[in-house]
Amino acid sequence: MNIDSINNGIVIDHITAGSGMKLYELLHLGDLDCSVALIKNVHSNRMGKKDIIKIDEDIPVDLDVIGYVDPDATVNVIKDGKLVEKKSIAMPEKLVNVIKCKNPRCITTTEQELDHVFKLVDRENKVYRCIYCEAVL
């Protein structure tokens, strides 16, 4: 398989194999009017297998979303065919409107204009809690 390199854009690399589609959906990459490549199960010496997302346009990406899905991923900024910046990702302390609370009794279910806010409570196990109802994600 041959995927062209990009001239100006973003490469999200070192995504845990199988997590690329979730990132694609949460970042709303299907709504973009540019080329986006989601490459799954690529051979990696370090990880065994990994996913990669290439976006053929320099757009802002929500690092909190990437940190929530896969804090070990990296974001590479490409300009004029060269790597100009490599960002390491960390798990965000707070997620706002990234995911929705699944608790049917949560106030966010009835109050549509409320932000869906989750706070990181256990970094090691990647556990987030709704700030309104304390439901665990």
79-103 per-position pLDDT tens digit:
999 999 999 899 999 999 999 999 9
Query: For the segment 41-60, what is each residue's pLDDT rounded down to a tens digit?
Result: 999 888 899 999 999 998 99
The CATH number of whichever domain residue 21 belongs to comes to 3.30.70.140
CA atoms of 22 and 130, how far apart (whole Å): 20
**Mean of the per-residue pLDDT values of the chain:** 93
Same structural domain, 43 and 57? yes
Band of residue 126 on the pLDDT scale cut at 50, 70, 90 = very high
Which residue range(s) make up the domain with 40? 9-88
What's the total number of domains in the chain? 2
Q: What is the dihedral of CA 15, 19, 21, 25, to 10 degrees?
A: -100
Q: In the predicted model, is pLDDT for residue 38 greater than 80? A: yes
Mean pLDDT calculated for residue range 97-116: 93
Categorize the per-residue pLDDT at 5 as very low, low, confident or very high, splitting at 50, 70 and 90: confident
- Whether residue 103 sits in one domain with residue 38: no
- Residue 77 and residue 87 in contact, taking contact as beta carbons nearer than 8 Å: yes
| pLDDT value for 46 | 85
Could you tell me if 27 and 68 lie in one domain? yes
In this prediction, residue 2 carries a pLDDT of 63
In eight-state DSSP terms, residue 26 is: H
* 107 band by pLDDT with thresholds 50, 70 and 90: very high
Residues 59 and 106 occupy one common structural domain: no
pTM to 2 decimal places: 0.87
Instruction: Measure the CA–CA gap between 43 and 59, rounded to whole angstroms.
Output: 27
Q: What is the pLDDT of residue 1?
A: 59
- Residues 74 and 99 placed together within one structural domain of the fold: no
The answer to whether 40 and 51 are in contact (CB under 8 A) is: yes
Asked if residue 13 lies in contact with residue 3, where contact means CB atoms within 8 angstroms, the answer is: no
Looking at the chain, the number of H-run helices and the number of E-run strands are 3, 8
Amino acid occupying residue 40 = K
